[in-house]
Amino acid sequence: MSFEKMKQEGWIRVKNQGGPDLTMAEDRFIEEDGFLFKDLAGTGKLLPYEDWRLSDEERASDLASRLSVEEIAGLMQYSRHQMVPAPDKGPFPGHYNGESFEKAGVDASELTDEQKRFLKEDHLRHILLAGVLDVRTSASWSNRMQKQAEKENWGIPVNISSDPRHGVKAGGAEYTSKAGGISTWPSGIGMTAAGGGEIVRKFAEIASKEYRAMGITTALWPQIDRGTEPRWSRLEDTPGPDRETCTEEAKAYCDGLQTTEGSPDGWGKDSVIAMAKHFPGGGPVESGRDAHYPFGAYAVYPGDAFMEHVRVFTEGAFSLDGPTRKAAALMPYYTVSSGFGENVGNSYNTWLIRDFLRGEIGYDGVICTDWGITADPGPEMDSFDSRCFNMESLSEPERQLKIIMNGVDMFGGSDSSATIVEAYRIGAERYGEKTMRKRFEESASRLLLNIFRLGLFEDPYLDVDRSVKLCGNPEFTALGRDTQAASTILLKNKADILPLKRGIRIYVPDRTIREKKGFMRNTEKEKHFSPFSEAEILRLEEQGFCSFVRRPEEADVFLVMLESPLNDGGYKKEEREKTGNGYLPISLQYRPYTAEHARAVSLAGGDFREEGKNRSYLGKTSICPNESDLENVLDAEKSGKPVIAVIRMHNPAVLSELEPHADAILCEFGIETGVLFEILFGERRAGGRLPYHLPKNMQGIEESLEDLADDYEPYRDTEGNCYERGFGLGE
């Protein structure tokens, strides 16, 4: 006998001598040739897909051929965002035996009624984990998910995914989650500021280990779009505008995430599927308006640089240096790529996906739509629920059928199989049953292949205590903090005001952010707050850095914490009702901005909810919600004390209003308070370099082209320094 069985908490572990470890909640194994195999199908005999001696491709093909249309439809869905534990209200609710989490009295890792339903009835196996309490909860929830999935037909394990979650704080754009018990790192653009390359690769290797420990096996990143449009809200998650930098980092992210050291083909227990996004590059959105919303649907290419955006994928994510060879999954963006193929959202665009991506480029990995693109549109332009761009005349199953026939494999943000099954029925009538079955099995094979590659069919269960110990360990934490400091840019240091001397008295002004629209187009009320919590202030004082004073006149130095200019996304329903055109400029300056140099006629446009196609905002004025950040700097200067400004940079800011009034300026992309103060007091250095130009003015931004990099004049400060890409005073 060349195997050994061991009982562990909640499951059985089998050690096969000369073969993989197996874990299973039920004692349901098959012995053959002195080895044990899992009887996932419950047939009592070894089926090809259960035989770990066969190739992943053979096993995936065999299982795909056995699945019903309904079961394949389940595989073709990626769930909506799951919160663990789930609230009973809000956009992503959940219930426990019909009760709220608070009333049910269950463990935080318990499955919701909705999760049990979609695992059993809708056959979902691709689950998006959004918010989670901590690492222990995540690992325990993953085990519960896998145990439930094991009970269902064929025993197909769950593939849990996550958006980025290693940031210091939750992101303002998309669903970037704050880390809980794992190491913390700067944003995507911050990784470029820190030097990119090997730093990115090391981060991805650590992220893959922490993700696997949490039960996460697919990363809905890297976001490798070229951030050529400086007003785009998602720019901070990209590697920046430079094509070579984006290409290099695309390779580093994907290799670091997917590669298990020592594995011949790179796949194994440390591997995480990299879902590179957003093909063909989401950066060149017109005037910076984001395509999560109907008013930001169009990507434009006035500089004829479409292929320069695509090359990040073909020469980066699809041409890896490591043994996995290519990003195993890919996500097109919501955008309508103006001038290329049909005038529809990317996943609907037959030329873009079927002919160009699958055909000419030859990409054969999994393609997943961005979230929620097939649902019927809402009545309002200013909404979060309308992304079937220019496909509104079709029913949801007809939309899904078009996407499937383009070669897309799965639908993001779907929890119900019914419409996909209906899409199959319509397709069978239109193209024939044989064609549709072949097409569905093709997607099922791709999707199952990735799950086999991860080893989940053999060993899906986690040692929760080990997970807690590994995540956020001292080595990973230290590297994350080192990178935070390395990404922080010293833009100005007049008279060498930095580093500060210990024991100094510091005054930190409160901040105010006016009422504005949130990511989900909800209204965020005006808020007035302190940049640091009482606990942070107490800790810094106990560590002997400084004392914080409550009256400005008592200070030796002013520390002004601020963000780059915020905005409302470039559209307001109230503006449309007032003028007939709801479009407004997205400003990168703090003072009110009137778009005197904007296009008189937009390059793209058109939506069934608006008259005409011109989305121009020429002559219109936008108000910055955090204009008071600038006021804080100006008020600090009046005190006659040294002024240090620390800017959380979301987008390249126009600093001409601010720079002359500050003695020192630090630019950060996600930093812990402790690391920041170590920089301020000389215990760490700010080693970052600008990943893009900081613009001289908004006229240059309006006259730049969305698909070209840094094609505007950079700002030159009062010390004579030019704030161009690559600048930074740190050594």
pLDDT per position as a tens digit, 157-169: 999 999 999 998 7
Residue 322 structure tokens: 């490591």
Q: What is the pLDDT of residues 564-601, one digit of tens each?
A: 999 999 999 999 999 999 999 999 999 999 999 999 99
- pLDDT at residue 171 in the model: 46
Q: What is the pLDDT of residues 355-402, one digit of tens each?
A: 999 999 999 999 999 999 999 999 999 989 889 999 999 999 999 999
pLDDT confidence of 268, banded at 50, 70, 90?
very high
CATH class of 55-469: alpha beta
Q: Do domains 55-469 and 488-567+626-703 have the same CATH topology?
A: no
What would the 3-class secondary structure string for 110-127 be?
CCCHHHHHHHHCCCCCEE
Full-model pTM: 0.96
The pLDDT > 70 percentage for the chain reads: 98
Q: What is the pLDDT of residues 2-35, one digit of tens each?
A: 778 888 778 999 999 989 999 999 999 999 999 9
Q: What is the pLDDT of residues 612-668, one digit of tens each?
A: 999 999 999 999 999 999 999 999 999 999 999 999 999 999 999 999 999 999 999
398 contacts: CB under 8 Å, gap ≥ 6: 423, 426
Q: What is the pLDDT of residues 246-258, one digit of tens each?
A: 999 999 999 999 9
Does position 175 have pLDDT exceeding 50, yes or no? no
Q: What is the pLDDT of residues 210-242, one digit of tens each?
A: 999 999 999 999 999 999 999 999 999 999 999
Does position 695 have pLDDT exceeding 90, yes or no? yes
336 contacts: CB under 8 Å, gap ≥ 6: 297, 298, 299, 343, 344, 345, 346, 349, 389, 390, 604
- pLDDT at residue 270 in the model: 96
End-to-end alpha carbon distance in the chain: 62
Average pLDDT, the chain: 96
Q: What is the pLDDT of residues 308-318, one digit of tens each?
A: 999 999 999 99
Domain extent listing, the chain = 3-49, 55-469, 488-567+626-703
Q: What is the pLDDT of residues 469-527, one digit of tens each?
A: 999 999 999 999 999 999 999 999 999 999 999 999 999 999 999 999 999 999 999 99
- pLDDT at residue 380 in the model: 92
Does position 197 have pLDDT exceeding 50, yes or no? yes
68 contacts: CB under 8 Å, gap ≥ 6: none
Does position 179 have pLDDT exceeding 60, yes or no? no
The pLDDT > 90 percentage for the chain reads: 94
- pLDDT at residue 1 in the model: 52
Name the phi and psi angles at 360, rounded to 5: -65, -45
37 contacts: CB under 8 Å, gap ≥ 6: 22, 29, 30, 31, 46, 50, 51, 52
Q: Which of 81-95, 114-128, 264-278, 421-435 has the lowest mean pLDDT?
A: 81-95
pLDDT confidence of 170, banded at 50, 70, 90?
low
Contact 374, 382 (CB under 8 A): no
Q: Per-residue pLDDT averaged across 78-107, rounded?
A: 93
Q: Is 533 exposed, middle or buried (0-12, 13-18, 19+ CB in 10 A)?
A: exposed
CATH number of 488-567+626-703: 3.40.50.1700
